Structure 1
Amino acid sequence: MSPKSLYNVTTLNKVGAITKRLGVTWGGTWTKAVDRPHLKLNRIGHFQKVIKLKVK
């Protein structure tokens, strides 16, 4: 994947959809300043539990 494709809106929307299901805050849903490349782990412990559940 080229670095340029990392800022492709379609790619970022796909990443956002996946990460939202994992409980990650995604900047693509912000209303005042949309920031699609921005991902934020809300609670690391929670995220680790979700990943374990999704992998099983």
Structure 2
Amino acid sequence: MCWIERSEPWDLEAQLIPQLDLPLNLDQNRHNTFHSSLKELRAQARQRARELPVSS
């Protein structure tokens, strides 16, 4: 892991995501093979979480 300090990091991110294989990053990553599957799995997980009882 590494980092680069940038005043506008979203510009670099927009350039890198299409070039790299980042299966867990859905933003700007529709070209990834797992995008649709992961998007659906995350939606299902959110729905299950909403259905859980909330304790106080």
Instruction: Work out which structure has the larger RCO, using CA pairs closer than 8 Å and 6 or more positions apart in sequence.
Output: 1
TM-score with structure 2 length normalisation?
0.32
Which structure shows the higher strand fraction? Answer: 1
Radius of gyration: which is bigger?
2
